[in-house]
Amino acid sequence: MAFQGVDFYDIDSLLSEEERAVRDTVRRWVDEKVIPIIGDYYVRGEFPLHLVPEMAELGLFGANLPEEYGCAGLNNVAYGLIMQELERGDSGVRSFASVQGALVMYPIYAFGSEEQKRYWLPRMARGEVIGCFGLTEPDYGSNPAGMITTARKTESGWVINGSKMWITNGSTAQVAVIWAKTGALDDPKSIRGFLVPTDTKGFSARDQKGKLSLRASDTSELVLEDVCVSSDALLPKTEGLKSALMCLTQARYGIAWGAVGAAMACYEEAVRYAKTRVMFGRPIGGFQLQQARLADMLTEITKAQLLCLQLGRLKDRGAMTPEQVSLAKRNNVNMATEVARETRRLLGAQGILAEYQAMRHLANLESVYTYEGTHDIHTLILGEAITGLSAFT
């Protein structure tokens, strides 16, 4: 069954023909290649790595970066629609593309030298090189400014020491963007980004076991023990923590769209089930309680779709602010989690099976709720934007 989309407000009419063509291509690919297999991979706790060459062939990696670096050169709305469709398949698949594009290719594009761009971006667009992003540490999640990973200048380059946690693609990657302090530990302005090949001596990655969420995704811990890299490993234009946060803004933008995809997948499943499941002699969709569930889901999805689209248009105009991204990430992920939970409940006992999508999405979205700026942190970002008063310090 191909996905028919959820478009109660004819939002399609606000998209260009190209944007729709991009969305429809990825939608079809997800229907044919992701949906049929993802439940099994999820249960096994494995990322479907065989999809990577196909994703590269389609042009999904760094799709909003320029063609001169081997990327598709799409606008940000088309990029968002890609994230939406990928997460309709699974948050793990979308996370893979988000990390590759927004957290590794983007910083190389934004902060790298011309040589770094020419070397890494085409290889990453072709999926020959997979990247990961090392910012979060075991003791520094919401407070990355406190990080204790260090990079010390030597005659020939840098020596990096520290550990990073919750790193998507960590064990799969050939290159890691590692954020480290080049100055004193109380100086977040000294944070710079480094491109570290994962086969460098002293670099190790370990799969984080026991996840009940994002099971079809590689989440790893990275340990860097006297990792020596040459001078050209530094991303020269990184300047303090704000450079890392700029990457997160890119990724969060994609997550705001992705969450809508997960919600649409659940909603479609809920509608189909409600219309076909017969109880007390009629389809459960005929009962008021289920109708209320479905009406709430459709309303929230429609609002989130419009939020994403306007956010994308702002981004394409160069007018998007990080606070606007916070609002969309916070709202949409929370919304999608609620939609997944209500779908799970509407499906009754079936809802706990991997054969259906709802519980997988629900479990995934609990991670998405926490990563890339927790829901709570985005609340405080908005609080500061509204009042001018920071609740952090």
Partner 1 sequence: MRRERLRAEVRRVKIAVCVKRVPDTETRIKIAPDGKSIDEAGVKFVLNPYDEFAVEEALRLKERAGEGTEVTAIALGPEAAQETLRTALAMGVDRAVLLTTSRQPMDPLITARVLSAELRSGGYDLVLCGKLAIDDYNHAVGTMMGELLGAASVSGVSRLEIEGNGGRAEREVEGGIEVVEFSLPAVVTTDKGLNEPRYPSLKGIMQAKKKPLETKPVELEEETLEVLELALPPERKPGRILGEGPDAVPALIEALRNEAKVL
Q: Cβ closer to partner 1: 67 or 225? A: 67
- Told to check if 14 binds partner 1 by CB under 8 A, we report no
Smallest gap, in angstroms, from Cβ of residue 79 to partner 1?
A: 9
Binding segment for partner 1 (CB under 8 A), chosen from 21-29, 127-135, 168-176, 372-380, is 21-29
Residue 274 binds to partner 1 (criterion: CB under 8 A):
no
DSSP conformation class of 5? -
| Contact code string over 24-63 relative to partner 1, x by CB under 8 A | -x--xx---------------------------xxxx--x
Q: What residues contact residue 21 under an 8 Å CB cut-off, 6+ apart?
A: none
Nearer to partner 1, 121 or 180 (CB): 121
- Least distance to partner 1 from the beta carbon of 310, Å? 23
For residues 36 and 210, which CB has a smaller minimum distance to partner 1 in the complex?
36
Nearer to partner 1, 21 or 391 (CB): 21
Three-class secondary structure of residue 137 per DSSP: strand
In this chain, which stretch among 22-30, 131-139, 265-273, 341-349 interacts with partner 1, using CB under 8 A?
A: 22-30
CA distances from 40 to 153, 187, 341 (A): 47, 46, 21
Q: Residue 160 CB, nearest distance to partner 1 (Å)?
A: 35
Instruction: Considering the complex, state which of residue 71 and residue 359 has its C-beta at the smaller distance from partner 1.
Output: 71
- Greatest CA separation found in the chain? 79
The interface region with partner 1, picked from 73-81, 175-183, 232-240, 307-315 by CB under 8 A, is 73-81
DSSP result, 256-278: HHHHHHHHHHHHHHHHHHHHH-E
The single-letter code of the amino acid at 101 is G
AA identity, residue 45:
G
Residue 168 phi, psi (nearest 5): -65, 135
Question: What Å distances lie between residue 342 and 5, 35, 79, 282, CA to CA?
Answer: 19, 21, 28, 20
Among 6, 38, 65, 72, which residue sits at the site for partner 1 (rule: CB under 8 A)? Answer: 72
2 forms part of the interface with partner 1 (CB under 8 A): yes
**Strand 157-168 and strand 219-230: pairing?**
antiparallel
Give the one residue of 38, 78, 151, 180 binding partner 1; rule: CB under 8 A: 78
Q: How far is the CB of 276 from partner 1 (least distance, A)?
A: 10
DSSP code of residue 280: T
Residue 279 binds to partner 1 (criterion: CB under 8 A): no
- 68 forms part of the interface with partner 1 (CB under 8 A): no
CA 178 to chain centre: 18
Distance of closest approach, residue 124 Cβ to partner 1, in angstroms: 15
Q: How near is the Cβ of 137 to partner 1 at its closest, in Å?
A: 35
Closest CA to 241 of 149, 328, 122, 155: 149
Reference 292, options 276, 309, 308, 274; nearest CA is: 274
> By CB under 8 A, is residue 86 in contact with partner 1?
no
Check the CA dihedral 300-304-306-307 and report its sign: positive
Q: Is 186 one of the binding residues for partner 1 (CB under 8 A)? A: no
Segment near partner 1 (CB under 8 A), from 74-82, 186-194, 217-225, 237-245?
74-82
Residues in the chain: 393
* 17 is an interface residue for partner 1 by CB under 8 A: yes
β-sheet bridge partners, residue 204: 223
Query: Within the chain, where are the H helices?
Result: 17-29, 35-44, 51-58, 76-89, 91-98, 106-111, 114-125, 241-276, 288-316, 322-346, 358-370, 375-387
User: Catalytic site residue 32?
Assistant: no
Size of residue set near partner 1 by CB under 8 A: 21
- Shortest reach from residue 1's CB to partner 1, in Å: 7
- What are the backbone angles phi and psi of residue 116, rounded to the nearest 5°? -60, -45
CA-derived radius of gyration, the chain: 21
* Active-site entry in 239, 355, 372, 384: 372
CB of 3 to partner 1, least distance (A): 9
Task: Kindly list the residues in this chain that would bind partner 1 in the complex (CB under 8 A).
Answer: 1-2, 4, 17-18, 21-22, 25, 28-29, 57-60, 63, 67, 72-74, 78, 82
Catalytic residues: 372
